[in-house]
Copies of this chain bind each other. A is one copy, B any other.
Amino acid sequence: MPDLDKIIQRTLQLAESAGENDEVPVGAVIYDDEGNIVAESENKTRREHSVSFHAELAVIAQMGSKKGSENLSEYHLATSLEPCAMCAQAIAWAKLKTVVIACDDEKSGGVLHNAKVFEHSHHKPEVIYLDSYKEQSANLLKQFFKKKRKK
């Protein structure tokens, strides 16, 4: 069984690194059935000048490139923040088995909130909300936006 605590902790480290790089602090990884992390990315939107570099979308593109196929149906994804509608639909297109979420996002989430993309998508990954990490992830975001407002 994958060690989801270890996996989600890695997404939080990546989120912290994104924040240090002046990006909204979000991190995501792709892991296999045994829990081995096979790809990881932090949010790189600002650095790559494109909204398509949210952590989840970036890690999906990275893993597709590594595998040589856009079909990632043997893998799972974990993320420090609830995916937006863009990333949720990308997860569905890539046919990932599971999405593990550390913190929900009432404002911009597209899985548990708002567009609730998996209620409409053909492929419906299993969603696991590990809310014991919510505070840690939310604090990274709060600190980031507090620092931004001071600038």
- Copies of this chain present in the complex amount to 2
CB of A122 to closest CB in B, whole Å: 8
Q: Please report the C-alpha to C-alpha distance between residue A116 and residue B64 in the assembled complex, in whole angstroms.
A: 27
User: Is the beta-carbon distance between B51 and A90 smaller than 8 angstroms?
Assistant: yes
A:70-119 near B, CB below 8 Å? 70, 84-90, 93-94, 108, 110, 114-117, 119
Q: Please report the C-alpha to C-alpha distance between residue A134 and residue B119 in the assembled complex, in whole angstroms.
A: 27
Chain B CB within 10 A, most for which of A50, A70, A87: A50
Interface check A140, CB cutoff 8 A: no
Q: Which B residues touch A67, using CB under 8 A?
A: 49
Interface check A17, CB cutoff 8 A: no
Contact of A89 among B48, B53, B89 (CB under 8 A): B89
Interface of chain A: mostly helix, strand, loop or mixed? helix
User: Is the beta-carbon distance between B114 and A110 smaller than 8 angstroms?
Assistant: no
Interface check A132, CB cutoff 8 A: no
Q: Which B residues touch A121, using CB under 8 A?
A: 85, 114-115
Chain B CB within 10 A, most for which of A48, A61, A122: A61
User: Is the beta-carbon distance between B51 and A60 smaller than 8 angstroms?
Assistant: yes
Chain B CB within 10 A, most for which of A48, A70, A116, A119: A70
Contact surface of A with B, Cβ cutoff 8 Å: 45-46, 48-53, 57, 60-61, 64-65, 67-70, 84-90, 93-94, 108, 110, 114-117, 119-122
